[in-house]
A and B are shown apart, each in its own frame.
Chain A
Amino acid sequence: MSRAEVNATEDVSTDVSTSAAPPGPGAARATEAHVPDGPSVESRRPSPLWALGLFRSELVTVVRRWRTLALLGVLAAVPILIGIAVKIETRGGGTAGPSGGDGPAFISQVTNNGLFLVFAGLAATLPVFLPMAIGVVAGDSIAGEANSGTLRYLLVAPAGRTRLLLAKYASVLAFCLLATLVVAASALAVGALLFPLGEVTTISGTQISFADGLVRALAIAGLVALSLTGMAALGLFISTLTGSGVAAMAATVGLLITVQILDQIPQLHAIQPYLFPHYWLSFADLLRVPVYWDQLVKNLELQALYVAVFGSAAWARFTAKDITA
Chain B
Amino acid sequence: MAPNDSAHTTEEARDLVAGRRKAARYLVPVGVAGVAAATIGLVPALAASGDPDLPKISAQQLIEKIAASDAQQLSGTAKIKTDLGLPSFGGLGSFAPKGGDGKGGSASPDSKLMELASGSHTVRVAADGPDKQKLSVLDKASEYSIVHNGDDVWAYDSASNEVYHSKRGADGKKELGGGPAKGHGKAPESLPTTPKALAEQALKAVDPTTSVTVDGTSHVAGRDAYQLVIKPKQSGTTVGAIRIAVDAKNGVPLKFTLTPSGGGKAVIDAGFTKVDFGKPAASTFDFAPPKGAKVTQDDGKAHADKGGRGFKGSPDGEFKGANVIGKGWNSIARLDVPGGKGIPTAPSGKGGKGDVPPEARKFLDSLGDKVTGKFGSGTVFKTRLINALVTDDGKVFVGAVNKDALVNAANAAK
Contacts and interface: CB of A to CB of B under 8 A. Distances in A.
Contacts of B157: 101
Contacts of B293: 112, 201
Nearest to A205: B156
B29 interface: yes
Contacts of B36: 305, 308-309
Contact size class for A?
35 or more
A147 interface: no
B3 A207 contact: no
Contacts of B29: 308-310, 312-313, 316
27 contacts: A1-B1, A3-B3, A5-B20, A7-B3, A8-B20, A14-B18, A14-B21, A18-B17, A24-B14, A99-B106, A100-B159, A101-B159, A109-B161, A203-B158, A205-B143, A206-B286, A207-B288, A207-B290, A274-B40, A281-B140, A284-B140, A284-B142, A292-B124, A305-B32, A308-B29, A308-B36, A319-B22
Given A99-B106, A205-B287, A24 B161 contact: no
B38 to A, nearest CB: 12
B25 A320 contact: yes
B42 interface: no
Contacts of A204: 136, 143, 145, 156, 158
A22 interface: yes
Most interface-central of B17, B77, B147, B288 (chain A CB within 10 A): B17
A199 interface: yes
B4 interface: yes
Interface stretch (B5-13, B208-216, B254-262, B332-340): B5-13
A108 B159 CA distance: 7
Contacts of A201: 158, 161, 290-293
Contacts of B6: 20-22
Given A25-B11, A26-B11, A8 B142 contact: no
A205 to B, nearest CB: 4
Interface of B: 1-4, 6, 9-11, 14-18, 20-29, 32-33, 36, 40, 77, 106, 122, 124, 136, 138, 140-143, 145, 147, 154, 156-163, 273, 286-288, 290-294
Contact of B28 (A8, A205, A315): A315
A5 to B, nearest CB: 7
A3 B2 contact: yes
A25 B26 CA distance: 29
A17 B141 contact: no
B10 A24 contact: yes
A24 B17 contact: no
Contacts of B154: 205
A159 to B, nearest CB: 19
A18 B141 contact: no
Contacts of A105: 140-142
B291 A7 contact: no
B141 A203 contact: yes
Contacts of A100: 106, 159-160
B20 A199 contact: no
A60 B116 CA distance: 52
Interface string A154-175: 0000000000000000000000
Contacts of B32: 305, 308-309, 312
A112 B158 CA distance: 13
A4 B5 CA distance: 11
Given A24-B9, A106-B141, A30 B158 contact: no
A320 B22 contact: yes
Contacts of A9: 24, 27
Contacts of B26: 313, 316-317, 320
B85 to A, nearest CB: 14
A3 B140 contact: no
A274 B39 CA distance: 13
Interface string A24-56: 111100100010000000000000000000000
Contacts of B286: 206
B143 A4 contact: no
A205 B292 contact: no
Contact of A17 (B4, B22, B24, B138): B4
B145 A205 contact: yes
A21 B8 CA distance: 10
Interface in A251-289: 274, 281, 284-285, 288
